[in-house]
Amino acid sequence: MFIDIINFTLYFSAVLFIIYLIGFTRNSKAYRFFTAYLFLISVIQILSLVIIKTTDLSNLFLSHYYFIGQFILLSFFFYEFIKHKIIYWILGLVLTFLAYQYFSSPQLYSKYNELGMFVTHTIIIVYSIVFLYKALTRKLEFTIVNVGILVYFLSSSLIFASGNMVFDPQLSSEITTLLTNANVVLYLIFQILILIEWLRNYRKSIRN
């Protein structure tokens, strides 16, 4: 069952990117940054599947491109709502820290970067909370998506707080499966909210 859900979320990622791409030039910078984020996610998921299907190699190295690219694009996305230059300073500091991590420990590339994932996820969660605070006083784009980001990133961070332990072959397969399946379900919910956002607020712009 969960294999089917995983496959569905993979193809769903590509579908979400395509439907958001339709209105790419008509909408705001925030919309374009979020569309770029959807493109990144769909490409990494497709590459991950290709590696699994065609080679005996681990696709774990793609996680580094995933969380770093995600952090960059969502930082630009949230800047369009928060409008504070501190986001650029934080982005620069975190990228410098990550570059130092990989330079000083090249072997980290073949592992799950627990600290890097935690730091970037936590910052995105903070941006999401600030977004919600601003949304209390004025109407903002992507309110539905932001709820999805907050719920998924917070839950995902808690699920994978153990980092490399989740990928440890000595860990109970039942625990690993439970954590992975929970994350898949949460990601599917996030995708559904992304679709709802488009249906409610951007589908009409295509007809205009």
Instruction: Report the distance separating Cα 204 and Cα 208, nearest Å.
Output: 7
Q: How many CB atoms lie within 10 A of CB 40?
A: 20
pLDDT digits (tens, 9 = 90+) for 48-84: 888 888 888 778 889 899 999 999 999 999 999 999 9
User: Which domain covers residue 145, as residue numbers?
Assistant: 2-207
pLDDT score at 111: 84
| Backbone dihedral angles phi then psi of residue 172, each to the nearest 5 degrees | -55, 130
Instruction: Report the pLDDT value the prediction gives residue 5, as an integer from 0 to 100.
Output: 75
Instruction: Show Cβ contacts of residue 137 under 8 Å, excluding neighbours closer than 6 positions.
Output: none
List the one residue out of 132, 138, 93, 147 whose CA is nearest residue 116: 93
Residue range 141-158, pLDDT digits in tens: 999 999 999 999 998 887
What pLDDT is attached to residue 191?
97
Count of domains forming the chain: 1
Q: What is the 3-state secondary structure (H, E, C) of the chain?
A: CHHHHHHHHHHHHHHHHHHHHHCCCCCCHHHHHHHHHHHHHHHHHHHHHHHHHHCCCCCCCHHHHHHHHHHHHHHHHHHHHHCCCHHHHHHHHHHHHHHHHHHHCHHHHHCCCHHHHHHHHHHHHHHHHHHHHHHCCCCCCCHHHHHHHHHHHHHHHHHCCCHHHHHCCCCCHHHHHHHHHHHHHHHHHHHHHHHHHHHHHCHHHHHC
CA separation for the pair 4, 11 (Å, rounded) = 11
**pLDDT by position in tens, the chain (length 208):** 657 777 788 889 999 999 999 989 889 999 999 999 999 999 999 998 888 888 887 788 898 999 999 999 999 999 999 999 999 999 999 999 999 999 999 998 888 888 899 999 999 999 999 999 999 988 999 999 999 999 999 988 877 665 445 555 555 566 667 777 788 889 999 999 999 999 999 987 655 5
